[in-house]
Structure 1
């Protein structure tokens, strides 16, 4: 494939623009962080940039956007750099398939992580953005806390890709949710939800999440709890919160059939 053809695809283009490959072999990502935060000490990235640097909030958000792109790109790069690109006609055909009853044992992904090009469809990120969804990193994990691989206990992650910086900076600075931190204290950490284009589906038989519809319902329920319920009165729910939720649902509705079809028989 010629370079111009490669640059059509987001992972190759962003690598060329940002020289991601220079940092690809550092599994800790420390060298990438130090490119922007010279005194970074290898501890929690988010805590460090907020508490131990002189970066402005704008600079922090700029870094967070780039770091998010790098982490998804890095996982893809280290797992084979595989790209699937179909015609617009085939993508439209796949999109018409009902996937509600699909179960995890039908997932037959060609690779644990790969990139699916959606560029021919010219899908807008949301009704509030002119950015085009260029593609999606699809990540399949079969797991439990014991490291075993029982049937029907897995997750699918979809990281949609494109020139989303404007939308990211808008949401990261305006959409807030109260989330419980990973500590033994009763304190609540105010953290931004951030992006609405990272979708996670968890399947688990014991909790009766065996189909795509059940996993989607679980994801949406968690989203509602985080945006509308936890530590928030109705007066505290903002227009941006509502926009964040509606944009997430819109993204799911126009992509879920397509990405699940690509992940299963």
Structure 2
């Protein structure tokens, strides 16, 4: 068997093991899947009135003044409420500051120039986590802001909502059945057809399998490219360190010889290495 054939076979085996709990697979399955996204939002929010009118997956939400973010699933409903659904297999990726950042990005995206702040629709940041990151053995963890008045806490009501969904929850209710589907590798073992049919297409249909194999190939190539870039940058920095220590070239001359490093980066390297010379 050729190397290409072996790689393709490995991709097919990997495809069998993918679940909605894997963000790359989930975003493919939920792309333009209004029915599936509505199902998830209605169950985790306990609301039957959500009608999704827009779904974008892996959407880059830019922040011109700070750090941008790529949202796994960004949905808007008929009331213009905005939803960010994130899959987090690592506990570290579901931290409180990450939730705050995503929530602020949604608000920045919603609020257009000239819009009155009183007209901002509600926004929801929903983390579906593989582990019970809150350690409370609960299916859901709603996060809301409160005003403390003496010994009383009153809901602030700013319309910004954060929700953690415990992916380990196995109850026999709707949340438990939904999390079962997120953990399942077999579409035939899923409870909800809106999720099963898309998983079935990408795992069993010839065209869907071809799409997923191409995605896996692109991911592999991108990972190899990033690894090569990191190796090149590491080598460039090591070379710059040696040249700076020898002291026979100015930083400007080194920058001309090593174009991947900016003059500011070279200044930082110089400050660091000269401490030990």
TM (norm. structure 1) is 0.24
The structure with the larger Rg is 2
Q: TM-score of the superposition, structure 2-length normalised?
A: 0.24
